[in-house]
Structure formats: C-alpha cells, structure tokens
A and B are shown apart, each in its own frame.
Chain A
Amino acid sequence: MPSFIDRRLNPKDKSLSNRQRFLRRARGELKRVVHEKIKSGKIVDVDAGHSVPFPLDGTSEPSFQADRSSGRREHVLPGNKEFTAGDRLAKPGQGGGTGAGKGAASEGDMEDDFQFVLSREEVLDLFFEDLELPDMIKSSLKEAVTFRSRRAGFTIAGAPTNINVGRTMRNSFGRRIALQRPKLAQVEAIAKEIEELEAKHPKPGSASSERLAKMRSELERLERRRKVVGYIDPVDIRFNRFEPQPLPNASAVMFCLMDVSGSMGEREKDLAKRFFVLLHLFLKRRYERIDIVFIRHTHQAHEVDEETFFRSTQSGGTVVSTALEEMQRIILERYPSQDWNIYAAQASDGDNLAGDSEHCVNLLNKEIMKLCQYYAYVEILDERESAIFRSTDNGTSLWRSYRQVGENWRNFQMTRIAKPGDIYPVFRQLFAKQPSSAKNG
C-alpha cells in the first residue's frame, strides 16, 4: 500500500508570489502598455483584466551559450531515405548556419505574439502608480462589491440550520393526506379494541375470535403503512434560500465635459482622460449602476460617444456655458435628480469667450449645483505655466469666475493640473465626507 496524498485541495496559487516578483521586475514596460491601453480604451474598461504582450525588457536570463554560427558540429538525425555518405545538402536559409539553430529562432517568434493576462488588481496597481494616491484610497478603490444575503424563496437542498419548518410541515401534511397515512388515533382505537377482545378470551371459531384475527391483521396493515408513509419524508423538507445581493445602491450618472477646441492637444486630452477614469473608479466603488455622459464643446456643445469624445477635434471658438446648458438639458430629460446621483467632471484649458464666464457662474450657482452631488473642474496647464499659476489666484477668466462658485459650494472642487500626480487632490474632498452631507447650500 503506497502513501497517497490528495493535494487537489491545497491552495492553488503556489506561484503567485513568483508572479508578483516577475511583474515587479517588468514594471516599467507593463506600466507603459497599460497606460497605452487606458489611453486607447474605454473608461469603463479600465476596471478589468487586460491581456498584455510579454515583457522582454529586464526579464532576460543570459548565460554562456554556444554561438550557432561558428565552428563545426555533427548532427545525428533519424529517417534517412536516400542519402549516402558524401552527399551534400544545401543549408536552409541563406548562408547562416541554422540546422539545429531552428529551435532558437522559433522561440523568438513565439514570444512576439505571447500575450498574458493581468488581473484587475494588477492593472489598477499599475494605473494608480503615478497618480500618487494614498494607500488607503487605493485599497478602498480596489475593494470588491460587498454582498448581503437576502431571503429568496425556498430550495430543496441546504444546511440543516436553514430548514424552514413551516413549509416542511405543510408539505408533509399534504403528502400524508394524499397517501392516506393512518392517524395515530386510528391505530390506537384498533389496539384498544383488540385488547378488549383479548380480555374476553374468545373461543376459536367464534365470531369474536374471527373479529380479533381481522382486527390484528388490520393493525398490522396500518402499522406497516405508517412505516412506509413516513411522518416526514426527505421530499417534504424545504430550506430557506438565500441570494447574495449587492448592497442597495442608488444609481449615478457621471457627466464628462471637455473643451475640444484646437488648444486641447494630445497631452491635455490624456490628462483629462486619466481624471475621468479616476472619477469613474471612485464612483463605481460606491454605486451599482453608473451611466457616463460625454459632452464636448467648442462654441456649441454636443453629447457624443466616448470614441468621438477623446478622438476627434472640432474647430471653433470656446463657449463653456453651452456645455453647461447641454448638461442641464440632459439632466432634466433623462436623469431626474431624485433618482440619480449626479456627478460632473469638467476639463478645460481655461479658455472662454469673454463675458461667458459670468454666465457659467450664474448657471452653476442657480441651477446645476443644486442638482449635482459633486462637481470637479480641472484646468490643464502647460508644464511651464504651472510654475507661475500654481500659487496664485490669478489665471484664466474661467478660473477666476469658478472660484466664486467654489466659495459658495462645498461640493465644488477645482484644481490645476500639469502632470498625473496633480489629479488626486481634486478627489480628496470627495472622500473626506459622507455622500449624505455632500450637499450644502
């Protein structure tokens, strides 16, 4: 008898820590790939696993290897059909000594299309890396949705603690009636009669002795039937069924507003996108259902799909209030504020038509901020400008006007960003307080 060990139930991720080491090693390359993907992909897709090409940088394992194209070797091969000693065969490929070198080449090819899947956690880790988020925030963003068990009907299998007695007894009762299980009283009445008859010591052959025999066989029949048709049968048993249910969450809608006039270049759009992605992740943590609405504007605003939002440019002037009006229209039309938590994120380089900023402030103060849970405005600066503007309240007309809004509303956040690390502070306020107290006049 050998010793068998069943290892199938052992933890599976034995090589997980080696995998983490490997990812750490290839971090730079993987990060570039993930950011590339986030840049080209959709906002909602960030929060998932991604397949990435195998990183080659920094993961080679060199060793002393013989050079395939030098020297002289002898190969012994099977399957000779027609050769005799002295035959000459052309080498495959031009000039180079391949032959047995084929193996090395094909391995190289293989690594080209070699993709492997990064899990959601790993992708988020890479995404968060230069956003400079505090660790607590990182972990709360990665946190999975919590479920609560909720009663949902009955089931025929389950743990004994979950037996539903009422339902089980009802089934049992119905079955006993249907199958005519003899009642205990019935059996006892016959037993009593038998006892009485026996007490009289009837003569064999007499009517009462016949009756006694009949009663006895009747008793036996009833008892057998009681045994066959059980009081409770496994088929009667019902268990309470529980269904994991995500904690009740209201729905949220996220408005992405962006200036797409010519002054917004590739860099500005990339920064804006990261900002939108981050807001989406924050919201996703809190809400079960999130809609995203993309509104782009020049001197007029349109609702567009994500692809158009980030890709195409439009020529024209810049009138910010058109976007706000469009947003207000969509809210009234599709997202009543009593059913939806409304979040807005606006990215712009700060340009606006002279005089329009006042109009924006009015719109925000009077209309939009009453509807919104949160409104974040980021102004994307040039790296050089950022040094000048960072500390002052001076700035573009839009910035100066929005400052008035910021003073009035606690749930209005604004910041200037020039690099990815600047994005997070916009959200700090959002996390500092509970959603219930977010609204404040």
Chain B
Amino acid sequence: MSKSAGASDLLFTGSDWTFDTLSRTYDAIKEVALDDLGLDCYPNQLEIISSEQMLDAYSSNGMPLIYQHWSFGKHFVYEEYLYRKGRRGLAYEIVINSNPCIAYLMEENTMALQALVIAHASFGHNHFFKNNYLFRQWTDASAILDYMEFAKGYVSRCEERYGFAAVESILDAAHTLMDQAVFRYRRPPRISSAKEQARVRERLEYEEKIFSDLWRTLPQPRQSEDTTEAEMEAQERKKALNLPEENLLYFLEKNSLILEPWEREILRIVRVVAQYFYPQRQTKVMNEGCATFVHYTIMNMLFDRGKISEGHLLEMLHSHSNVVFQPGFDDPRFSGLNPYAIGFAMMQDIERICTKPTAEDRDWFPEFAGNGDWRGTLLDAWANHRDESFLLQYLSPALIRKMRLFALDDESKEKHYQVASIHNERGYEKIRSSLARSYDIGMNQPNIQVVDVDLLGNRHLRLQHTARDGIVLSESTRDATLRHVRRLWGYDVSLVGVDAEFGNVLYETSTDKFAG
C-alpha cells in the first residue's frame, strides 16, 4: 500500500474530536466488532457529557435517572471532593445496561480516547450485557429506564403526599438491606412500568373494596395448649410464608404488619434496583475483561488496516496499560486484584490457548486447546459464565505463573499469615478455586435469612445468619441495621449467628435489648 493511500484511510487526525469523526470512527469500529469478532449488540446511544455531569452520574450509581435521596447527595459531595483534590480521576465512560445501550463519553477525552471508549463500552460491555446469561435472565434491559422513571416519579409523589421525613425514613431503612434484597436462586418476575402502575392502583382499589371493620370483631380461635400442635402450626406458618426467605426486603414488603401500601411500593423499588445491579457485581472480572479485550483487539485491527495512526495507537495503548496495571501485593499502590488486569489477561490467555497451546494447556483444557477458534471460544465463555465459574474453568497455570499468584491463609486468631499455595504444580488447583471463591458473592456476603415469625403471638421476627468459616458480623453496623429492620417490621427483631459447619450458636442479638 502506498503511503499516500494509507494516510487518506485514517479515520481521524489530531486530538480533537467532532461529531463527524466520531461517527466515522464508530462505523469503522462497528464493522470490525460485528463482522470480525462476531459480537451481538443492542443498538447504541452515545451521549456526550461534561465532567460535572460525569460526577452527577457517579453519585446515582451511573443511572441516568434515579429517585431522590440524601445518600446520593452524600456520594456526590464525596466524589467531588476526591476529584477536586486530584485523588481520583474520572472514568472515561459510563455504560448502562439498557436497550438501547447508553454510553456516556466525556467531552474532555481526545479523539483517540473516544475511539477507545466506544470500542470498550458500546461494543465490549454492550455485547456482554446482551449475551451473558445472568443479564439475560435477571435484568430487563428494555424496561429499566422506564422503570426508573416510574420509580423517580413515584418517590417524589410520595414525598409530596406523605412528607419528606416519612419517605426518607423508609428509604434509609430499605437501603441498609440492599445487599439482602436480591433473589439469588429464584428468578424475579419481569417488570414494566405501565403494568407496574396499573398493578399499584388495582391493589389499592381492591384493598379499599374489601375493607370491612366487622372482621376485627370476630372472635379469635382459641390457642391450643398441645405442643405438638404448636409445632405443626409453626410448620404450617413457615410453609405459608415461604420460609426461610433470603430476600429480606421482599419478605418485609409482603409480610410486614405496619407498612402502608406506598411504603411497600418503595421497598419494592429499592429491591428492583438491587436486583438489577446484582449480575454486574457477579461479573466484574468477565465484564471488564471482555470490554478491555474487545477494545484492544479492535484498535489493533484498525491499526493493521491503516485506519489509525501510530501516534494515536500509542496514546490508546498508554491508557490501556494504565487500566490493566496490576501492582504486586507489596507495592504501595496495591489495592487488591485489578479486575481489568486479570480479566484482560485471561481473555488473552484463552486466545493463546486456542491458537498456540502448549502441552500443559492441552492437558488442562482439552475441550478447546488448539481448536483455533478463539472467537467462538470467547463468545461462549462470555455468554455462559459468571466470575466464579469463569475463573474456575479458564484460569490457566501459565497465567498463575505469569501473575505469580499465591494464596495466603488468614486465621484471625493467629499472629501470622501462612502461605497456603504458590504457583507450582501442587498449588494451581488450589489457587484457582480459592480465587474463584473470592469472586462468589454468595459466599462472601453474610448469608442472612428470615427463619421464623410468630404472626399471632408477639410478632417477633427471627433472622438467622449462617456464618461461614467463623466470620461473624461487625457489631456496630449489625445493630444499627437491625434497628432499621425493626423500623420496617414494626415489632422486635432478633438475629442469631449459627456456624455453618457445626450448627452451634455464635451470637444472638435482639432489638428488644437495645436502648431506644
């Protein structure tokens, strides 16, 4: 190819972007992404925003709209402080799992960065959102924006009608339980805002219709003294309430005795938001790895085709290597494993195993080593795994050696850590499963369930924390959170910590023991 022809093929020159170059670059990236990599994406919507708007987006979990609450203001003030002090830079982009897929591009980005961001967010993340099984099953990309609009409107109507303080106290309480507000095993029903509103209205109307004060005057059935019958009753009761229940907010929404209908609806909104973000928390490594791999591959392909100049490629690689930088554990900059770094390294490793496998790889990954089809292998991995299962299946000894991973045993009673395994023949399996487990949210978050409630007696709500590996809850936040549960339940709440292995009680606490 002659030099002049190559120069004329460039998508952009210089560092400033215009809508023209953005659009031309987008089309070129799209061609590579869809035809070459075989990605499958939602339609894209690219929004240019300023840095202040980026800060706004930060404080609302990246959602373009969300109901109003002081905690978002707090986060905004905090993020703004970090940004102004220069302690933290702003992200180049934010992408939203919706259909069409919305990506925010910062106006300050140079053209090369915009190209990188488009490839990363609008194709990498977008493909992942559309195809990963967790997102397909648990979130509804086409309805989320409508739902958030409904939620925002609903909360502000409630504020008008019932006062700021009342709404705030419900939201405060609901937010404390956000981590316990997801269905981990049962698939949640789909949502749509129009239906949602109709449903609220219907429910209220129905309740008004059937209200009759007469029911209150009926004599209560006499309490049986027979203990076995009481046990039977407990069984019945648990069955009727579908206990044990892991989704605390769901349980409170459906069964709390003191909540008004609008308060239940607000719990529901918080629950839906928590559920919406649940897949993202389970796929950090994969999602970022996928997006990073996609932008890296696309940018290199565009460069090979002479559409990006060397200077711009270097600028992109500079940002890219900042993103995937992984300092060692003893480096002062170390702050845990970087999901971008490990995700990207694994994707590249899979590509290598598919195309240039070693004997060891053939041993460990007989299904795909040397099959030559790295595109198909990656697409399959992206679609059918979450972090935990992905690491468990695809982390190769070669990568463990390359990153020099080691596992550290941390028994809190001991004065020393013990190195459990290192990157050697005996350690690979252990490191791999240990790392995979650390990305399993179900294992790492306290497992707290509603186990029993006596609706006819003193209405005491019993929660049980199944503690794994002797890890109990931090007491100050535990008791503060329980107070919020009591606020939603209306009666006393107790929490029992039970060891998962031995079944012995580790601790017991109850709101009736708290003062105030």
A interface vs B, CB < 8 Å? 1-8, 10, 12, 14-15, 17-25, 54, 59-81, 83-91, 95, 97, 99-100, 103, 114-116
In the bound complex, residues from chain B placing their C-beta under 8 Å from that of A10 are 53
A68-B474, A90-B415, A115-B81 given as contacts; is B434 within 8 A of A76 (CB)?
yes
A3, B100: Cβ atoms under 8 Å?
Answer: yes
**Which B-chain residue is minimally distant from A89 (CB atoms)?**
B417
A88, B416: Cβ atoms under 8 Å?
Answer: yes
- Assess whether B408 is interfacial by the CB under 8 Å rule: yes
In the bound complex, residues from chain B placing their C-beta under 8 Å from that of A78 are 326, 328-329, 337, 403-405
* CA distance in complex: A99, B179 (Å): 24
A8-B49, A21-B168 given as contacts; is B71 within 8 A of A61 (CB)?
yes
In the bound complex, residues from chain A placing their C-beta under 8 Å from that of B403 are 78-79
A18-B72, A64-B179, A100-B336 given as contacts; is B50 within 8 A of A8 (CB)?
yes
A85, B426: Cβ atoms under 8 Å?
Answer: yes
In the bound complex, residues from chain B placing their C-beta under 8 Å from that of A1 are 23, 26-27
A62-B480, A67-B474 given as contacts; is B446 within 8 A of A22 (CB)?
no
B418, A87: Cβ atoms under 8 Å?
Answer: yes
A72-B411, A90-B416 given as contacts; is B175 within 8 A of A61 (CB)?
yes
Tell me how far the C-beta of A85 lies from the nearest C-beta in chain B, rounded to whole angstroms: 5
**Which 8 interchain pairs have the tightest Cβ spacing?**
A79-B328, A22-B73, A71-B471, A18-B73, A71-B470, A62-B480, A21-B70, A97-B412
In the bound complex, residues from chain B placing their C-beta under 8 Å from that of A54 are 77-78, 81
A14-B56, A72-B411 given as contacts; is B70 within 8 A of A24 (CB)?
yes
- Assess whether B32 is interfacial by the CB under 8 Å rule: no
* CA distance in complex: A70, B412 (Å): 5
B70, A79: Cβ atoms under 8 Å?
Answer: no
* CA distance in complex: A99, B419 (Å): 13
Which segment of B39-47, B137-145, B486-494 sits at the interface?
A: B39-47
> Of B44, B69, B175, B419, which is within 8 A of A85 by CB?
B419
Subset of 16 A-B contacts with CB under 8 Å? A7-B49, A8-B49, A10-B53, A12-B53, A14-B56, A18-B59, A21-B73, A25-B70, A63-B178, A64-B179, A65-B474, A67-B473, A75-B408, A78-B328, A79-B329, A90-B415
- Assess whether B422 is interfacial by the CB under 8 Å rule: yes
B406, A63: Cβ atoms under 8 Å?
Answer: no
B78, A83: Cβ atoms under 8 Å?
Answer: no
Tell me how far the C-beta of B145 lies from the nearest C-beta in chain A, rounded to whole angstroms: 13
Interface positions, chain B 330-355, Cβ under 8 Å from A, are 330-331, 334-337
- Assess whether B107 is interfacial by the CB under 8 Å rule: yes
> Of B405, B411, B477, which is within 8 A of A64 by CB?
B477
Interface class of chain A by DSSP = loop
Interface size class of B (residues with CB under 8 A): 35 or more
* CA distance in complex: A174, B19 (Å): 44
Tell me how far the C-beta of B407 lies from the nearest C-beta in chain A, rounded to whole angstroms: 5
In the bound complex, residues from chain A placing their C-beta under 8 Å from that of B45 are 2-3, 5
B53, A14: Cβ atoms under 8 Å?
Answer: yes
A18, B69: Cβ atoms under 8 Å?
Answer: yes
* CA distance in complex: A89, B404 (Å): 17
A71-B467, A71-B471 given as contacts; is B168 within 8 A of A8 (CB)?
no
* CA distance in complex: A61, B328 (Å): 32
* Contact digits for B7-36, partner A, Cβ 8 Å, 1 yes 0 no: 000000000000100110011001000000
In the bound complex, residues from chain B placing their C-beta under 8 Å from that of A75 are 407-408, 410, 438
New A-B contacts (15) at CB < 8 Å, excluding given A20-B73, A99-B408: A3-B100, A6-B47, A21-B69, A62-B484, A63-B176, A64-B473, A66-B446, A67-B471, A71-B468, A74-B434, A76-B435, A77-B406, A80-B404, A83-B419, A91-B417
Interface positions, chain B 162-182, Cβ under 8 Å from A, are 164, 168, 172, 175-180
Tell me how far the C-beta of A438 lies from the nearest C-beta in chain B, rounded to whole angstroms: 42
In the bound complex, residues from chain A placing their C-beta under 8 Å from that of B60 are 15, 18
A80, B26: Cβ atoms under 8 Å?
Answer: no
- Assess whether B372 is interfacial by the CB under 8 Å rule: no
A8, B53: Cβ atoms under 8 Å?
Answer: yes
A22-B73, A71-B471 given as contacts; is B336 within 8 A of A85 (CB)?
no
A8-B49, A88-B417 given as contacts; is B73 within 8 A of A83 (CB)?
no
A76, B480: Cβ atoms under 8 Å?
Answer: no
**Which A-chain residue is minimally distant from B342 (CB atoms)?**
A78
* CA distance in complex: A371, B416 (Å): 82
A15-B60, A18-B73, A89-B417 given as contacts; is B46 within 8 A of A4 (CB)?
yes
In the bound complex, residues from chain A placing their C-beta under 8 Å from that of B471 are 66-67, 70-73
A71, B419: Cβ atoms under 8 Å?
Answer: no
A74, B480: Cβ atoms under 8 Å?
Answer: no
In the bound complex, residues from chain A placing their C-beta under 8 Å from that of B146 are none
A72, B409: Cβ atoms under 8 Å?
Answer: yes
In the bound complex, residues from chain B placing their C-beta under 8 Å from that of A7 are 47-49, 53, 104
* CA distance in complex: A12, B53 (Å): 6
> Of B328, B404, B409, which is within 8 A of A74 by CB?
B409
* CA distance in complex: A91, B408 (Å): 11
A85, B422: Cβ atoms under 8 Å?
Answer: yes
- Assess whether B231 is interfacial by the CB under 8 Å rule: no
Tell me how far the C-beta of B93 lies from the nearest C-beta in chain A, rounded to whole angstroms: 13
